[in-house]
Structure 1
Amino acid sequence: MIRAVRANHKGFHTALLQPGVNLILADRSNSAGDKDTTNALGKSTFIEIIDFCLASNAPPGKGLRIEALQDWAFTLELSLVGREVAVTRTTDKPGFFAIEGNTDDWPVRPTVNKEGVSGLDVKKWRAVLAWALFDMSDLSGESGYRPSARSLLSYFVRNQTAAYNTPFEHFGHQKTWDIQVHNAFLLGLNWEKAAIWQQLKDQKNALGALKQAIKTGAVDGELASLGELEAERLRLTTQLEREREALSNFRVLPQYREIESQANLLTSEIHGLVNANIVDKRRLDRYRDSLVSEDAPTEDRLEALYGEAGVALPGAVMKTLAEARAFNAQIIANRYEFIAGEISALEAAVREREADLVALTGRRADFLNALAGQGALEELTQLQEFHAATRMKVDELTNRITQLRQMTAKADTIKVETVELKRATILDYEERRVLWSQALSLFSEFSENLYKLPGRLVIDIDDTGYKFDVEIAGSPSEGISKMKIFCYDLMLITFARKRGLGINFLIHDSTIFDGVDPRQRAHALELAAAMAAKYGFQYICTLNTDMVPVDDFTSGFDYESLVRLRLTDTDPTGSLLGFHY
């Protein structure tokens, strides 16, 4: 329970708190103008100071760690496990908490720092809070998804605007596992089931990320079916065996390139001889054809032609024709002699080339036989490189097949484990019915106290874990949405006290009553007072005076006796810190 909130500056308005309801009011003075405001008097800062001393995160330049509050130290006096202690944290050195009081039975004992002050660092102070308020060792520093004292405290000290949006979250965009684990702890459910659920989700997400990486090329390979991969591996394995056999039969011939060059030269010569023979044989064919088709004219053929024409040739002409015949016969004889000579020469050339062809072909055959089954060193190297590349592909495929099988098996395992986890969680849920049903009953009771019909706190278990919801008739209105949070938080502190946990305070900012009908505000404050008195806890609420439903309290409810501190807008000294910044 919180006894007092102090600071090391004289202008600060110390708040002395008591069991039950404690109201911190921001008054509007009679002399205040229409441009003055009660929104900067320190109501939210008051809650922030308490949270600061309870080991909230304190990044530089934010919250209380601004330049205007340099050298400030805030002290929280409270009782932990029946012992009165004072905790002081400075804005300049927020990593150290000065501790005063009896700490003999604490699981972590304060130590003296360089300045001679006894205290704890952030981690150790949080461990003490976990032990004192929630009866657990501080698990926040361990691996895995576990409840932490700070997250649990944030449901009892709502210190952010986003904390008033939904009962189950204390900051915006809170992760699902965080919501499930901490609400399960507070509602008496098995939070370890929620942690295992998140571990299975992580494994599933990791598989999905790996598949996406393969698909987008971030990981080598292509996403294919197991059958396609096996078929490709078989093809490459066959190719690998052929390459292995070729390598085993390969012989390196040192003179390979010289012999290959000589064989190529012989091939070129052979081609030249063959081409020359083709040309000469075509010439032989033409010469032989000309001898067959060309005949000498008969001696009387010309006279016969003239006789047929009825022309008589004189004797002189006959003599000239005879001479012409003799000359023509000589020409033909000479042509026969020339063609015969050419034919003889061509035939001799062809025969010579054919003999050369036989000799060259034999020599080339010897060279080719020498090269058969053997190769140059660079060819062997290339074959080895091809073989190594194929082997690498086979190995990659084998790894990919193994990976795909493992991924498929893991995905199936996750599905089976999720189903089994859901079944085990439902069984555990039933075994804990006596415990969690108290929380549901309290919420129903509190909501009925504010409205005509009781609301419902709903706990479901589906394939993703615990699901929480609250229902009050007329939920769409802002006021009723805020009262869902009020009823839930009041249930949490009441339920915690019934379970014997050490947490014994609940703190709300005036935001909890935004848009709430004055009658429900009055019922809520009276209900908080009744439950605080019955179960021994403290309810602290900051309000503007004009939000206090004075006319709607039941007769005999003295709200004035619950006011522990009044802040005013008369001048800056009336604010919590004694000045405006």
Structure 2
Amino acid sequence: MFISLTSDLPDFKSASFRPGLNIMVAERTRAARRQDSRNAVGKTSFIRVLDFLLGADARPDHILRRPELAEAFYELQLELEGRVVRIQRTGVDPGTLQVDGITVKNAAWRQRLSKELFALTGKSGEPSYRSLIAFYLRDVQNGAFDNATEVHRKQTATASQSSLAYLFGLDLSLLEQAKEVATAEKSLKELRKAAKDPVLGMTLGKAQDLDAQIRTLGIQVGNLERELAEFKVVEQYSQHRARADELSRYIRKLNDSLVMGERRLGDVEAAINQEDESQPDHSYVQEMYDQLQITLPGGVIRRFDEVAAFHRSVVENRRRYLDGERVSLLESLEEMRQRLERADSERANVMRILDAGGALETYNELQVELIHIRGRMSELQQRRETIDKWENANRHLQLRSAEMELRFSTDLSDRRSQIDEIAQLYSSYAYEIYGSGRPASLSVEASKTGYNFVPTIGGDRSQGVKSMALFCFDLTMAVTAHRYGRGPDFLVHDSHLYSDVEGRQMASALMLAEKVASREGLQYVVTLNSDDLKKAQDEGFQVEFNECAKLTDRYDTGGLFGIRFN
């Protein structure tokens, strides 16, 4: 139990504790200025000083390392195992403490507290001392009042399971096994994620796609192996290849010329046919004049005859030119066809030589290609084996997860009387506060990751009801752990827990805390504003309690440290 908290700061508000209910009161004074507030008088700092003397880390941003406070000594007298221990610590040298006048490292002090407060033995799988004490000195700045089963807003339910399981006396060995499975699942998930990251170059692909690629590469390997086995190296291979390429270009050129020549021949023959069909006919002129009963002069008729004779002469000359052009094109085309036939025949002979073998360079290139394909195939096979291993590991982990959930369920079934005792405590505490109007339960459920603690109080889900659910949970935890020698004999709550609680429920909670603490040999410490305390007293809170310290909103000296700072 706590006995006293003091400091060498001149105006520090010392605290004196007793068994049972202890309240630090933040009171409004008449002399306080209108702008003064009790929200900064040091209620939360009071809890942080206690935590500081119980081995908390004191990082550079810790309040007791501020220049205004760092030089001061803070002292806690604490009863441990039947004797009073005096602890002193300063923000200037937060790594060491004075315990009964002897300098010890903070780590050694924690180790001692872990044994004397929580009976920890240092076995594998046990929770740390700091993870346990955090449930007894919840820090509002860490979000410790947001969720009953967590003491840090970034903490997962899984992370707090070990601490709660220890305090409630459940099987830590099962949790350790579940943690191994969860770690393996997380590692496998991270590996899968990394395998999909192109930056890491570890893309594995899908099993069916890899199988298809491996089979295709296997066919290529077989073909290359046969080709190399039958390969013959041809002498002067490069010269033959050059000649074949030259002949191919020549043949393409001849084919282009043939196409152009045949088009030209077609144009000439079309022109000849057109000449035959387009002779002029002057008879329509004579017929037109006859219909008009006009007789053409003889000179006009003679002129038509002369024009027709001239036109026949022009047509005959053009016909002779076109016939000559046609003959010339036919001869040229025939010559090109003969040249094309000879070139094609020569190229066929060269290709037969090339088909019979290849160059040494080609042979080496085939070998390099074979090595490359084999390497690629080996890589894909390794990736395929990795996928098989991962799939097998995933199936194995799923099986182990299901097995762990069954083992947790079996363990809870075997501990039915113990679980019922815990649930009964919680329900009875909630009944003291709300009566029968709000049924309450604390269930412990099995999952693949461990024990899930679910405290509930029926009715609306207001913040006040949630706060009282947390109060009942902490009280159940503290009583259970103390009864079985796994927890200390004190529990501390910040005034933030009661900020949204109605006066009647606050009165009931404080009376319950006093009754349980007295009956169980515990010490319940809480910080409250004087108006909240008055509100509870007006609703029937009349039990005796120890006012362990009093803070005021007086600006200069009323706060915990007796000084003001920004």
| TM interval, short-chain normalised | 0.7 to 0.9
Listed as ranges, the matches of 1:287-436 within 5 Å are 374-436=357-419
**2:219 is matched with which residue: 238, 250, 257?**
238
Q: Deviations over 1:498-556 (max 9, x none)?
A: 1122411100111121122222222222221222222212111111111112333466x
The answer to whether the 8 Å contact 1:470/1:484 transfers is yes
Aligned to 1:137: 121
Whole-angstrom distance in 1 between the partners of 2:234 and 2:388: 47
C-alpha spacing 1:235/1:5, structure 2 compared with 1 (3 Å): same
Aligned to 1:151: 131
SS in 1 for 2:86: strand
C-alpha spacing 1:498/1:394, structure 2 compared with 1 (3 Å): same
Letter in 1 for 2:137: V
Aligned to 2:145: 164
Letter in 1 for 2:547: V
**1:558 is matched with which residue: 544, 552, 556?**
544
Whole-angstrom distance in 2 between the partners of 1:165 and 1:396: 51
How far off is 1:262 after superposition?
A: 6.7
Aligned to 1:342: none
Listed as ranges, the matches of 1:476-515 within 5 Å are 476-515=461-500
The answer to whether the 8 Å contact 1:482/1:513 transfers is yes
Aligned to 1:223: 205
C-alpha spacing 1:243/1:221, structure 2 compared with 1 (3 Å): farther
Q: Deviations over 1:288-322 (max 9, x none)?
A: xxxxxxxxxxxxxxxxxxxxxxxxxxxxxxxxxxx
The answer to whether the 8 Å contact 2:408/2:447 transfers is no
C-alpha spacing 1:248/1:483, structure 2 compared with 1 (3 Å): same
Aligned to 1:26: 26
Whole-angstrom distance in 1 between the partners of 2:132 and 2:20: 21
SS in 2 for 1:577: coil
C-alpha spacing 1:245/1:507, structure 2 compared with 1 (3 Å): same
How far off is 1:416 after superposition?
A: 0.9
How far off is 1:227 after superposition?
A: 3.9
1:568 and 2:548 equivalent? no
C-alpha spacing 1:517/1:262, structure 2 compared with 1 (3 Å): closer
How far off is 1:37 after superposition?
A: 1.8
Aligned to 1:302: none
SS in 2 for 1:79: strand
Letter in 1 for 2:180: Q
Letter in 1 for 2:426: F
How far off is 1:58 after superposition?
A: 2.4
TM-score, normalising length: structure 1: 0.74
Aligned to 2:422: 439
How far off is 1:196 after superposition?
A: 3.3
How far off is 1:397 after superposition?
A: 1.7
Aligned to 2:259: none
Whole-angstrom distance in 2 between the partners of 1:130 and 1:552: 40
Aligned to 1:303: none
C-alpha spacing 1:50/1:401, structure 2 compared with 1 (3 Å): same
The answer to whether the 8 Å contact 2:195/2:202 transfers is yes
Letter in 1 for 2:537: V
Whole-angstrom distance in 2 between the partners of 1:7 and 1:388: 79
SS in 2 for 1:137: coil
Whole-angstrom distance in 2 between the partners of 1:513 and 1:270: 100
Aligned to 2:529: 544
Whole-angstrom distance in 2 between the partners of 1:263 and 1:459: 86
The Cα RMSD (Å) is: 3.4
**1:173 is matched with which residue: 131, 136, 154?**
154
Single out whichever of 20-29 and 519-528 deviates more from structure 2. 519-528
Whole-angstrom distance in 1 between the partners of 2:188 and 2:229: 43
Aligned to 2:188: 207
SS in 2 for 1:526: helix
The answer to whether the 8 Å contact 1:6/1:14 transfers is yes
Whole-angstrom distance in 2 between the partners of 1:200 and 1:502: 29
TM-score, normalising length: structure 2: 0.76
1:184 and 2:171 equivalent? no
The answer to whether the 8 Å contact 1:13/1:578 transfers is yes
Whole-angstrom distance in 2 between the partners of 1:163 and 1:565: 24
The answer to whether the 8 Å contact 2:248/2:347 transfers is no
How far off is 1:16 after superposition?
A: 2.1
Single out whichever of 73-82 and 214-223 deviates more from structure 2. 214-223
Percent identical: 29
Aligned to 1:299: none
Q: Which has the higher contact order (CA 8 A, sep 6+)?
A: 2
Single out whichever of 26-35 and 478-487 deviates more from structure 2. 26-35
Q: Deviations over 1:206-240 (max 9, x none)?
A: 4344444444535444532x344323312211211
Whole-angstrom distance in 2 between the partners of 1:260 and 1:541: 98
Q: Deviations over 1:222-262 (max 9, x none)?
A: 532x3443233122112112212323444556754356557
The answer to whether the 8 Å contact 1:55/1:126 transfers is yes
Q: Deviations over 1:9-60 (max 9, x none)?
A: 2222222222222111112112224322222221111100011122223221
How far off is 1:420 after superposition?
A: 0.8
Aligned to 1:257: 238
Aligned to 1:521: 506
Whole-angstrom distance in 1 between the partners of 2:187 and 2:450: 19
Matched positions, count: 480
Whole-angstrom distance in 2 between the partners of 1:247 and 1:521: 92
Q: Deviations over 1:56-91 (max 9, x none)?
A: 232212433223323233222212233332222321
Letter in 1 for 2:454: D
C-alpha spacing 1:247/1:56, structure 2 compared with 1 (3 Å): farther
1:118 and 2:103 equivalent? yes
How far off is 1:390 after superposition?
A: 1.0
Whole-angstrom distance in 1 between the partners of 2:231 and 2:148: 79
C-alpha spacing 1:372/1:569, structure 2 compared with 1 (3 Å): closer
Structure 1: runs of 5+ lacking an equivalent:
102-116, 274-345
Structure 2: runs of 5+ lacking an equivalent:
255-330
Aligned to 1:331: none
How far off is 1:371 after superposition?
A: 5.8
Whole-angstrom distance in 1 between the partners of 2:428 and 2:30: 40
C-alpha spacing 1:136/1:369, structure 2 compared with 1 (3 Å): same
